[in-house]
Structure 1
Amino acid sequence: MGEKKKIMLAIDESDVSHYALEWALSFLKPTISSPLLLFHAQPLPSFSYVYAGYGAAPTELIQSVQEHQTKITEALLERAKEICAREGVVAETLTELGDPKDVICAAAEKFGVDLLVLGSRGLSTLQRTFLGSVSNYCVHHANCPVLVVKKPA
């Protein structure tokens, strides 16, 4: 029981994700005994829709987009870390490149997470069918308990 538990919160730029962070800090704060892992899955840039029919995207463009995404990710994680600090919770930030559902589950396993927390966008059944649901995927594929936080309407 005295063992430190690792909690990882997957975060993105959505309101739902921000709500999940605030909720987790207020509800789980007494149980957070080691640094909270704030994780962001940075999607790989896709240029197929921009350069369809024009050949490969220029290397400079790819590098510029990747640098921009990295800056956005750093700002997002720094903001989340500041929110944690205001609540007296120590946080560490992590990011991985790739499909969010895959890299979130892989990171949870890689870092020996005891609880994965993420927000739910509240997609309808039809939307989940066509768009997929990261939270639904993680519930079924993560190797640890998953807490899905749903923002009230």
Structure 2
Amino acid sequence: MTLNYKHILVAVDGSKEAEWAFKKSIGIAKRNSATLNLVNIIDTRSFAAVEAYDRSIAERAQGFAQQLLSDYRTEAEQAGVKDVNIIVEYGSPKTMIPRDVSKKVEADLIICGATGLNAVERFLIGSISETIVRSAKCDVLVVRTEEKEIAATEE
């Protein structure tokens, strides 16, 4: 068993929790000289009904994801990570991240935020991070937002 990570997969969705996961991934990638794979899964369930009325929503979601990942790639490269890839996929993040994307990039570590959902959604459908932990074939690091950051956003 190796103690180094070579292919790190970071799930980001634009939430504060995902931003903290990304920031933590930079240090881990640098210490391990690892490839950083940044992924955003556009959850088709979240806009399927709306898309019937507004066809441009998929294009806007794609544009948002590309911009978010491009900004993160630039930040990671400026911080000294040498190999950064960005991936945008459509589907369910709960299945795509631990099964499909992690296999495609040969991930040996998945990093994600503790939650990007509100309490009601977590109760009804469960958190994405929980599903990743249960179904991933590699190590998973779930990053929590720092408490002072949470307090500042609640004020």
Pairwise TM-score range, normalised by the shorter structure: 0.7 to 0.9
Q: Distance in 2 between matches of 1:4 and 1:11?
A: 19
Aligned to 1:86: 78
Matched, 1:134 2:121: no
Q: Which of the residues 60, 74, 97 maps onto 2:66?
A: 74
Post-superposition Cα deviations, 1:86-135, rounded to whole Å, max 9, x if no partner, equal 11113110111011111111211232111111111287987632241000
Structure 1 stretches of 5 or more lacking a match? 52-56
Using the size of structure 2 for normalisation, the TM-score is: 0.80
Output the amino acid matched with 1:129: F
Using the size of structure 1 for normalisation, the TM-score is: 0.81
Conservation of the 8 A alpha-carbon contact between 2:37 and 2:105: no
Q: Distance in 1 between matches of 2:4 and 2:12?
A: 25
Deviating beyond 4 angstroms after TM superposition, the runs of 4 or more aligned structure 1 residues are 1-4, 122-127
Q: What aligned pairs does 1:57-136 form with structure 2 within 5 A after superposition? A: 57=52, 61-62=54-55, 64-89=56-81, 90-105=83-98, 106-121=100-115, 128-136=122-130
Q: Distance in 2 between matches of 1:2 and 1:114?
A: 10
Structure 2 stretches of 5 or more lacking a match? 148-155
Aligned to 2:139: 145
Larger Rg: 1
Q: Distance in 2 between matches of 1:23 and 1:2?
A: 17
Question: Alpha-carbon deviation of 1:35?
Answer: 2.2
Could you say if the C-alpha distance between residues 22 and 3 of structure 1 is closer, same or farther in structure 2, counting changes exceeding 3 Å? closer
Conservation of the 8 A alpha-carbon contact between 2:17 and 2:114: yes
Instruction: State percent identity of aligned pairs.
Output: 28
Q: Distance in 2 between matches of 1:112 and 1:41?
A: 17
